[in-house]
Structure 1
Amino acid sequence: MSAADTTNLPIHHNAAAQRFEMRVDGHLAVLDYELQDGVMVITHTGVPQAIGGRGVAGQITRFALDHARAAGWKVLPACSYAAAFLQRHGEYTDLLG
């Protein structure tokens, strides 16, 4: 499965667990966060090695940031991947809290 093949896979917001989840080829990729006073603190982005290199982390991060924007939350990237993603994608700088 190529990166293009993962773009139509569903991403689920598991609000109870404070995470976004995406299943690819039976493997679960996640973005964990903590909601603190209207700020989504992204604490971890995890993609199993078996599905790495397909853009999954970027897709799940973009989905989480779009969700934060729609909810009116600010974002604090406490994980290195999310911080790097936000540096590369200026369209999300308005979310930085």
Structure 2
Amino acid sequence: MGSAVRDNTAGHRFELERNGHLAFANYERRSSSLVIRHVEAAVPLRGTGAADELMRGVAEIARAEGRKITPLCGYAHAWIRRHKEFHDLLN
């Protein structure tokens, strides 16, 4: 399954667009980690699974780049803890 998550490198955030609304994760790339500073979904996307899909895409990107994830955002941290298949990425 291909991810709809795009890397907005200029904005230092991953983005997922649904029906004209954005869910995004602000990040910083460090040597071997992807620091997730903040995750947010537009109000119309809340409760739709958009943030979950966004984080899954972020995790897939981190894995493809050979990076760990350092979640500073409470949502990102809780998401990784709930998804055992990505525990190996937790920094």
Shift of 1:16: 2.7
Kindly indicate which of the two structures has a greater share of residues assigned to helix. Answer: 1
Deviation at 1:19, TM superposition (A): 1.2
In structure 1, distance between residues paired with 2:3 and 2:22: 12
Structure 1's unaligned 5+ residue stretches are 1-7
Unmatched tracts of structure 2, length 5 or more: none
- What residue in structure 2 maps to residue 30 of structure 1? 24
Larger-Rg structure: 1
Please state how far the C-alpha of 1:44 moved relative to its aligned partner.
0.7
User: 2:6 maps to which residue?
Assistant: 12
> When the two structures are aligned, how many residues end up with a matched partner?
90
Of all paired residues, the percent bearing the same amino acid is: 38
Residues 1:80 and 2:74 are matched in the alignment: yes
Q: Contact (CA 8 Å) 2:5, 2:58: kept in 1 or not?
A: no
For residues 9 and 50 of structure 1, the distance between their equivalents in structure 2, rounded to whole angstroms, comes to: 21
| RMSD of aligned alpha carbons | 1.6
